[in-house]
Amino acid sequence: MSDIKNKLDFLVTSHKKLTGSALTYEIAKSYIDLFSRVKDKKTLMISGSQGSGKSTLSLQIKKYFKKYYSKNVVILSIDDFYLSSHQRKLLAKRHNTNLFETRGVPGTHNLKLLNQTIRNLKSNKFPLFLLLYSTDSRCLSAIRFLSTSASPLNSPMTKGAIIFIAFVSISPSSVFT
């Protein structure tokens, strides 16, 4: 019983730190049930509308899996896989609309890069560089660098890694076609 109480307290405290809001023990218990059912999966996809908690849930999973299952979790977000500004302008010109010049519109994601990144992660091809979108006006973009030791298969970064992807505006099935 003490183990369950520790897990519940961990999730409630972690949620409070992430969001500033309370998480009920009832919801935390449902998280524990869910996490135990998916702990052996290699890839999970989380979808939902803007503000529904995809990022928060992903971060909860990452912290929980590290602490209780000793598994590293890599979180990928569809928001980090857009076509370049130049590519979006060409797309807008081709379709005679300026709609595609805006990030976030369906059709403006760089699915080729996303697929390659997932393949590289699954086959332990490192180092891996990911451009991250930033809303900070002082920083146009950031680079997340995932690296491993000389032996990627035995590295702490990838050993038992699970890849989580938060999809927003596309069908998850289209990523793997």
pLDDT of 24-57, one tens digit each?
A: 999 999 999 999 999 888 888 888 887 888 888 9
Compute the mean pLDDT over every residue in the chain, rounded to the nearest whole number: 76
Q: Cα-flanking dihedrals φ and ψ of residue 41, to 5°?
A: -75, 150
pLDDT tens for each residue of 111-141: 898 888 888 877 777 666 666 555 544 444 4
- The answer to whether residue 167 scores a pLDDT higher than 80 is no
Residues 59 and 166: beta-carbon distance below 8 Å = no
Burial class of 96 by CB neighbour count within 10 A (0 to 12, 13 to 18, 19+): exposed
The stretch 169-175 carries a mean pLDDT of: 36
Instruction: Map tokens 């503000």 to a residue.
Output: 51
Domain ranges of the chain: 1-38, 42-176
Q: What's the token pair of residue 175?
A: 């990523």
pLDDT tens for each residue of 71-111: 888 888 887 788 888 889 999 999 999 888 887 788 888 88
- Residue 157 pLDDT: 46
Higher pLDDT, 6 or 130: 6
- Residue 113 pLDDT: 86
Q: Which residues pair with 119 in a beta bridge?
A: none
Q: What percent of the chain has pLDDT over 90?
A: 29
Kindly report the CATH class assigned to 42-176. Answer: alpha beta
**What is the pTM for the complete model shown?**
0.72
